[in-house]
Amino acid sequence: MIRTIEDNATTVTNKPARAIGFWVCLAVLVIFHAVGFWGLMFSGRPMYFQELTPLNLLLTNALLFSLHRTWNAQFLVFAVVVTIASFLAEVLGIHTGLLFGNYSYGAALGLKLWDVPLLIGLNWLMLVYSTGTIVTTLKVNPVVKALAGAGLMVLLDFFLEPVAMRFDFWVWQDGVIPVSNFVGWFGLAFLLQLYFHTIAVYKQNPLTLFVYLVQLLFFIGLYLML
């Protein structure tokens, strides 16, 4: 983690214009999540801020990928494959109970197709890309990197799940989060991470660590206040 921060700092300071862009993106990311946290917990109008969840997700992705370099065909294929594959996995999960368990999506994540929010694939892409980029500095083989990246994703999901039920992201049958959810999350995340770590795409982005940490702290904070 310390090595990742150092690498991010080196990347940012290489070009003055890029450094300014990074600090602007980071400031917007932190402010938007801080306002969202206050709105959900203290504003007295949590429903209003729940409705902004799709905007939050779109904004975070826009900030993150605005700092990605080398948009070659292989990276675009990666982005499309991860988005579609994860969306279809969620469709399968919703309608069969396989992979994750029995759950259904609420209204907070916006427009749905086949009972799954259209933005859910984008969320998976953001998580796979950000965690995959974080662990890419590890001096280990791709399988171990994929395991580490999947572990980071499941850690975030652990704190996300109770928050998701509270704010109408999704709901589990009988209100119980099954172990199969975390097993399924890890399995799918591992496969997508392995794909990321075995293709030749640019794997540096100074914002990825902060996107992950801001979201992790956001959901831990909400989790502790439920």
Beta strand pairing call for 170-172 and 103-105: antiparallel
Quick one: which of 29, 4, 48, 34 has its CA closest to 138? 4
Quick one: which of 135, 144, 128, 8 has its CA closest to 67? 8
Beta strand pairing call for 112-113 and 116-117: antiparallel
Structure confidence at residue 10 (pLDDT): 47
Q: Within 10 A of 224 (CB to CB), how many other CB atoms are there?
A: 8
- Of the listed ranges 8-12, 164-168, 178-182, the least confidently predicted one is 8-12
Q: In whole angstroms, what is the distance from residue 38 CA to residue 33 CA? A: 9
Average pLDDT score over residue span 51-62 = 94
**Residue 170 bridge partners (DSSP):** 105
**Contact in structure between 149 and 135 (CB atoms under 8 Å):** yes
Cβ-in-10-Å burial (0-12, 13-18, 19+) of 179 comes to exposed
Q: What is the mean pLDDT of the chain?
A: 91
Over residues 18-44, the pLDDT tens digits come to 778 899 999 999 999 999 999 999 988
Structure confidence at residue 45 (pLDDT): 85
Average pLDDT score over residue span 46-74 = 92
Q: Given the structure tokens 């392995």, which residue do they identify?
A: 194
Instruction: Output helix, strand, coil percentages for the chain, rounded to the nearest 5.
Output: 70, 5, 25
Domain ranges of the chain: 2-225
Give percent above pLDDT 70 in the chain.
Answer: 92
SS3 string, 129-145, reads: HHHHHHHCCCCCCHHHH
Q: Is the pTM of this model over 0.85?
A: yes
Q: Within 10 A of 99 (CB to CB), how many other CB atoms are there?
A: 17
